[in-house]
Structure 1
Amino acid sequence: MNFRQIEFDRELIERCQTNAPRYTSYPTADRFSLDFGVNQQLSQMKQVFTPEFNQAVSLYIHIPFCNTLCLYCGCNKIITNNRAKITEYLEYLAKEFALYHQLIGKKLPVIQLHFGGGSPSWLSISEVQQVMNLVREYFILENAEEIAMELDPRHVTDEFMSALYQEGFNRVSLGVQDFDPVVQKAVNRIQPLADTQRVLDQAAKLGFKSTSIDLIYGLPLQTLASYRQTMDIVINQLKPARIALFNYAHLPHIFMPQTRINEADLPSANEKLNILQMCVERLAEAGYVLIGMDHFARPDDELAIALSEQTLQRNFQGYSTFADTNMLAFGVSSIGFVGNSYYQSAKDLDSYYNFLNADQLPILRGLLLSPDDVLRREIIQQIMCQFELNYAAVAEKYQLDFANYFAAELAELPELAKIGLITLTPSGFQVSNKGRFLIRNVAKVFDRYLRANQDNRRYSKVI
């Protein structure tokens, strides 16, 4: 497949519009169970982290605090300007790190460290240093290939960026969404272009190896003309290495702040597609590579290289080059992956603190993957990241009769081929270039949980 080619088939997208998981994990997080709690996860961790274990791990640290509420946001966040709350949270984070160290029994090397939120950049410089000292106390960071933080440019200073660089950070992701002041007001996120430009300029000056910008189309009061101006700024002026172009998922029954958005102000489905098509065409003209779904990167970025070399992976942070490692998760609501199990920490501060006060890891729920889950996770990962599936390779690895095991799934593939999402081959199938925008439609065919229960209203639309 020529990954440099971007083919936007509007008719196909309109025909295939549906709701589906984003498959940052399989099974997806909504399948986690309260029956799989801290004791079950401790058992799994002890099986993995034996005295002989010395593989590099990934770390995710959730900083839930923001100083303002963005109405579109579906993240787990706490709106506060009370710095004492952050101080208290970091004290409990230290307890959590100490408990993990007691369990593992030694300092493991780290390949990837990611700060998410919330707004991790709402931490002060000294608080970032405090957390990084904590990481270094219990883990080995010297050979980490990626240390990243999600930034809100509105409160990031040049001094903060310098402090990040000195602490070893080499990648930053900036929330932008839209530069139109009218849209910004409608979603309660006033963000001058100068703030974003200043942060990116400082990142380039310091030598950060990669910068990313998050955009959202489908927000209230957006129009094709107004969003074209935002794309002009991003492509011609900001020039980030990576761009995530998310479809706004209006789910007010799940995310309470979205109830404050006037649904009458949301662009129509047709206008949203107009906006998306314009964005895709502009990004293609500018030389960006479609990584998959809604992620784009410059050809020399690690994601684009991994795509071409078929080493691309996917985890809870989206497309990645480091997903095939155990991931330890720290902080309220964070999600980790160890061995063949997923786990999620307590979702509210009181519960999170209560676990740690009892000297317990704050694990609320999780899932031990069955052999079928492991098999389907690999298949869905291949579809989402390599955009193809080889039946014989899967059959040989898992010692099964692919045609018999997946008879129901295989029966659905000719229809996907007929409409142009995939091309069937003697050994499997390849996703078409135009099908990469609708990759979730292909992956969900192999989702056993969705097949058993077709209620997909909890998921966002694929486009």
Structure 2
Amino acid sequence: MNPKLLHKYNVPGPRYTSYPTVPYWDEQNFSILNWKESLVQTFRKSNATEGISLYIHLPFCESLCTFCGCNKRITTNHAVESPYIEALLKEWKLYVDLFNARPIIKEIHLGGGTPTFFRPEQLSRLIDGIFELADRSETWDFSFEGHPNNTSYEHLQTLFDLGFRRVSFGVQDYTPEVQKAIHRIQPYENVKRVHNWAREIGYTSIGHDLIFGLPKQSRLSIAETIEKTNRLKPDRIAFYSYAHVPWIKGNGQRGFDDSDLPKDDEKRSLYNLGKLLFEENGYTEIGMDHFAMPTDSLYNSLQSKNLHRNFMGYTSSKTQLMIGLGVSSIGDSWYAFSQNVKTLEGYYELLALDKLPVLRGHLLNDEDLVIRKHILNLMCNLETSWENKEMQFTELPEVIASLKEMETDELIYFTEKGLKVTEEGIPFVRNICMAFDLRLVRKQPETRLFSMTI
């Protein structure tokens, strides 16, 4: 990578798991009534044809990982499991009561926190309770995040029996010095054990999540981590850039000094090395931070241009309606977003009153819907088009003009009625999306909101 381009474009910017991004939601014009109306509208239109998705947030962790930016509650008290499952099932019933038919569930993802904090019988109780009020799509895709240190064979077998076929294990880095810095002590043998169990049971997609840019990381430590990863041959790999946002997450990301973090050229070289080593071992780059084997559904979705991106990241299947259950979860009806309250106490309090535990949200206007499609096209397919009238918007000429410098820098090239991202431009795809982000263009943040783009 050209160092001048890296320094030029490495600025704070969104990761675009949604548009508009959460800091730019218009909360004043959002109401729970409008959220419910949007849900019902989308459900009636798409439930029978494509089904719905569920994201279920399981926030408990037994120890704090200092790299983590997720909403979590640190505890070793497993008595918290049962009340939380009861709350999730009550929230689910409040949603189902809005609909005039049984939901058809295509996608479930259990995220956290640490989903495998919960005992297998509690996870079984959760999924069985969900399906007391719903049916399973014929093309279902269920996945969960497993912590290698506490995922048991029983966890894997129980969830497999419930229909889960995808699991991702949080690896991050195998280097002892890095693990100590991020408070995530996790030997390779633990990952190997749960990975092999998942293969033995029959999971069709096993993912490993790695992070570059962590404190104390070096090219040597990345190479050693990826060498161990390639021994196990996971079906897909998430290779995330560490988002250092201590001004948002407080002490959770203060377990090390800023001087311990690889910066700019050094950090990007870690990604470039990882990409080289993954591709040498048969992986294909997907989007901006994923790699997959040709046998994995994520790769197939890339080839067929069906790749999708939402609050769960890249996914091989798409539904217009995604309901978020649990503390801090985000739902998406395509025409509106909502986010749940961020504290367990507030979550339980609202459910006790038979109210949806929604904190805030956003109703997408016509312009938002067009921009959202452009950003999804860029993030998933590395191209977009405004040939069709429905993909045009008032400020399109200004957006095109703002992209001319990126064309000069050979990050994109224009087609007759669109643009494509070049190979050199892939690391800068977030910057390219920012040119389309009219809410960001019109109102630059006065304080720092986002992690660095590269």
Q: TM-score scaled by structure 2?
A: 0.95
Q: What's 1:450 paired with?
A: 440
Q: Which moved more, 1:70-79 or 1:89-98?
A: 89-98
1:144 CA drift (Å): 4.5
> Letter of the aligned partner of 1:250 in structure 2?
H
CA spacing shift, 1:17–1:44, aligned 2, 3 Å: same
Q: Deviations over 1:77-135 (max 9, x none)?
A: 01111112121111111211221121114321111111011011111010011001111
Residue 425 of structure 2: aligned partner = 435
**Counterpart secondary structure, 2:247:** coil
Partner of 1:69: 64
**Distance in 1 of aligned mates of 2:203 and 2:449:** 37
Look up the match of 1:31.
24
> What residue number does 2:311 align with?
316
Are residues 430 and 286 of structure 1, via their aligned partners in 2, closer, same or farther at CA, if it must alter by over 3 Å?
Answer: same
Match of 1:460? 451
Distance 1:268 1:414, change over 3 A: closer
Per the TM alignment, residue 54 of structure 1 is displaced from its structure 2 partner at its CA by 2.9
Which residue is equivalent to 1:247?
241
- Deviation larger for 102-111 or 376-385: 102-111
Aligned to 2:405: 415
Q: Indicate if the aligned counterparts of 1:106 and 1:138 stay in contact, CA closer than 8 A.
A: no
Instruction: Give me the whole-angstrom Cα distance separating, in 2, the residues matched to 1:211 and 1:294.
Output: 16
Partner of 2:154: 159
The equivalent of 2:366 in structure 1 is: 371
* Superposed displacement of residue 268, structure 1: 3.3
Structure 1 residue identity aligned to 2:71? N
Distance 1:52 1:72 in 2: 38
Task: Tell me the alpha carbon deviations over residues 301-327 of structure 1, each in whole angstroms, 9 at most, x when there is no partner.
Answer: 211121122121111111112234210
Q: Is the 8 A contact 2:53 2:319 kept in 1?
A: no
Shift of 1:363: 1.2
1:388 and 2:383 aligned: yes
Which residue is 1:92 aligned to?
87
Retained in 1: the 8 A contact 2:52–2:319?
no
Which residue identity lines up with residue 264 of structure 1 in the other structure? Answer: S
Measure how far apart 1:339 and its partner are. 4.2
1:313–1:324: 8 Å Cα contact kept in structure 2? no
Shift in Å at residue 47 of structure 1?
3.2
Answering whether residue 271 of structure 2 is matched by residue 276 of structure 1, we say yes
Once residues 305 and 10 of structure 1 are traced to their aligned partners in structure 2, the CA distance between those partners, rounded to angstroms, is 33
Q: Equivalent of 2:232, from 238, 260, 275?
A: 238
Give me the whole-angstrom Cα distance separating, in 2, the residues matched to 1:145 and 1:96: 22
Specify every segment of 5 or more residues in structure 2 that has no aligned partner in the other structure, as ranges: none
Aligned residue number for residue 141 of structure 2: 146
* Equivalent position of 2:108 in the other structure: 113
C-alpha displacement at 1:34, in angstroms?
4.1
Q: How many residues align?
A: 450
What is the identity, as a one-letter code, of the residue corresponding to 1:213?
H
Q: 1:41 corresponds to which residue?
A: 35
Q: 1:203 aligns with which of 186, 198, 203?
A: 198
Query: 1:19 and 2:9 equivalent?
Result: no
Q: 1:339 to 1:243 in 2, by over 3 A?
A: closer
Q: Which amino acid aligns with 2:397?
A: A
Rate the CA distance shift 1:387–1:339 in 2: closer, same or farther, 3 A: closer
Does the CA-based 8 Å contact 2:338-2:358 persist in structure 1? yes
d(CA) in 2 for partners of 1:339 and 1:294? 24
Displacement of 1:267 in angstroms is 2.3
Cα shift at 1:462:
1.6
Code of the aligned partner of 1:20: G
Q: Does the aligned pair in 1 maintain the 2:3–2:265 contact within 8 Å?
A: no
Which among 206, 223, 234 is matched to residue 228 of structure 1?
A: 223
CA contact (8 A) 1:417 1:423 kept: yes
What's 1:180 paired with?
175
Separation (CA, whole Å) in 2 of partners of 1:86 and 1:338: 29
1:153 CA drift (Å): 0.8
Question: CA, structure 1 residues 144+115, in 2 after alignment: closer, same or farther (shift >3 Å)?
Answer: farther
Contact 2:71/2:112 (8 A) holds in 1:
yes
* 8 Å CA contact 1:220, 1:267 repeated in 2: yes
Determine helix, strand or coil for the equivalent of 1:215: strand
1:418 and 1:268 map into 2 onto residues whose CA distance is 26
Alpha-carbon distance in 2 for matches of 1:40, 1:389: 31
How much has 1:274 moved relative to structure 2? 2.5
SS at match of 2:105: strand
Structure 1 position 287, deviation (Å) = 2.1
Distance in 1, matches of 2:185 and 2:47, equals 48
**What is the aligned-residue RMSD (CA, Å)?**
1.8
Moved more, 32-41 or 94-103: 32-41
Using the alignment, how far apart are the partners of 2:347 and 2:32 within structure 1? 12
- The answer to whether the aligner puts 1:345 opposite 2:340 as a matched pair is yes
Offset from partner CA, 1:16-65 (integer Å, 9 cap, x none): 21221111111112223443242331232233344995341111111011
Contact kept in structure 1, 2:89 and 2:130, CA below 8 Å: no
Q: From 74, 99, 106, give the equivalent of 1:104.
A: 99
CA distance in structure 2 between the aligned counterparts of 1:9 and 1:301, rounded to whole angstroms = 32
The CA distance in 1 between the partners of 2:117 and 2:328, in whole Å, is 18
Identity %: 36
Pair 1:53–1:386, CA change in 2 (3 A): closer
The answer to whether the 8 Å contact 1:288/1:299 transfers is yes
> Partners of 2:25 and 2:386 in 1: how far apart?
28
> Are the equivalent residues in 2 in contact too, given 1:289–1:298 (CA < 8 A)?
yes
* 1:324-343 aligned within 5 A: 324-343=319-338
| SS of structure 1 residue aligned to 2:453 | coil
Aligned mates of 2:9, 2:395 — CA distance in 1 = 26
Is the partner of 1:450 in helix, strand or coil?
Answer: helix
SS of the residue aligned with 2:194? helix
Could you say which residue in structure 2 is the equivalent of 1:356?
Answer: 351
Equivalents in 2 of 1:48, 1:325: separation in Å?
Answer: 7
Gaps of 5+ in 1: 1-7
